[in-house]
Structure 1
Amino acid sequence: MTYNHILVPVDDSDISSVATQHALNFAKVFGSRVTVMSVVAIDPFVGVDFYKVAPAVTHHIMEAETHAQAHLEKLKQLFIDQGIDADIKIIREEPTPTGILNIADEVNADLIIMGSHGRSGLKKFVLGSVAQKVASESSIPVLIIKR
């Protein structure tokens, strides 16, 4: 088995850094191309669009996107410095699992490597598990890196 294109969804967490390192190792072994991506969520209540978005919220979203872009550029360079072909993607205004799966389809990824925050109890009930949703809905292998 070989993996030609690895998708690596990331955020600012330590577990994302560990998942990125795993993706780097896989890409070296298999000679894979890598796409590193982030989802910039506007609001957990995305369907509630009848409220006007406050300027402070708009500013926060723009800052989050700028930060995500800088973070992804840094990770892209990490792969390039190791001789690995890499791209970056930012998804907006989609639930995180949907964004990840859509990008996997778009770039024709054949492996997703991502971290799991390991939420349990009430946090898992309220916030859900992105990794669990991606793994259960993906048509390609998903390697979930845990703490």
Structure 2
Amino acid sequence: MFKKILVPTDGSPLAHQAAEFAADLAKVHGAQIIGVYVIDPFPYIGIGDASAIGLQAYLSEAQVAATQSLDDIRQVCVARGVTFDGDTIERNVTYEGILETASAEGCDLIVMGSHGRKGIEALVLGSVAQKVLTHAKVPVLIVKS
């Protein structure tokens, strides 16, 4: 039924749980896992040396986090004998990066974690999962903590 499953990650334990669920599902369906880590671009204003140094430090740290997060999903997939491919992209809006990746890769399912924030916390922090659910053109499976 499913051939390509997108698993967005932020490196959290909840993203790991979602990856395990997705890999188990992929094994049953003979599907491939596509992992994605979305880096929020640094608000570089281009003035002074400190900004350039800050940009490089930020991007370096973000790339390390992305590599670790995608390696975690890769290990989950390897343990289950599931094919994995991962990518790091840079977008101002995380959910748009997730949806663009799903479309570009031809994914037919998105599996992601959700912290289940409610009330003021959800209003202030927003919910990437909620936005993906609202705008996705493919089914979305949410793994809750």
Q: TM-score, normalised by structure 2?
A: 0.88
Alignment RMSD, CA only? 1.8
Q: The residue matched to 2:138 in structure 1 has which SS?
A: coil
Structure 1 residue 68, shift from structure 2 partner: 1.1
Which structure carries more helix by proportion?
Answer: 2
2:21 is the counterpart of 1:19: no
Q: TM-score, normalised by structure 1?
A: 0.87
Structure 1 residue 98, shift from structure 2 partner: 0.3
The 4+ residue runs of structure 1 with deviation greater than 4 A are none
Q: Deviations over 1:92-119 (max 9, x none)?
A: 1331100000000011000000001222
Specify every segment of 5 or more residues in structure 2 that has no aligned partner in the other structure, as ranges.
none
Tell me which amino acid in the other structure corresponds to 1:69. Answer: T
Picking from 79, 82, 85, the partner of 1:81 is: 79
- Structure 2 match to 1:70: 68
Overall identity of the aligned pairs, in %: 36
Q: 5 Å matches for 1:94-105?
A: 94-105=92-103
Tell me which amino acid in the other structure corresponds to 2:8. Answer: P
- Structure 2 match to 1:146: 144
Structure 1 residue 50, shift from structure 2 partner: 4.2
Q: 5 Å matches for 1:2-41?
A: 2-41=1-40
Report the count of equivalent residues: 142
Q: Deviations over 1:68-105 (max 9, x none)?
A: 11331232133133221110011113311000000000
Structure 1 residue 57, shift from structure 2 partner: 4.3
Q: The residue matched to 1:144 in structure 2 has which SS?
A: strand
Specify every segment of 5 or more residues in structure 1 that has no aligned partner in the other structure, as ranges.
none
CA distance in 1, matches of 2:133, 2:143: 12
CA distance in 2, matches of 1:67, 1:133: 23
CA distance in 2, matches of 1:20, 1:98: 20
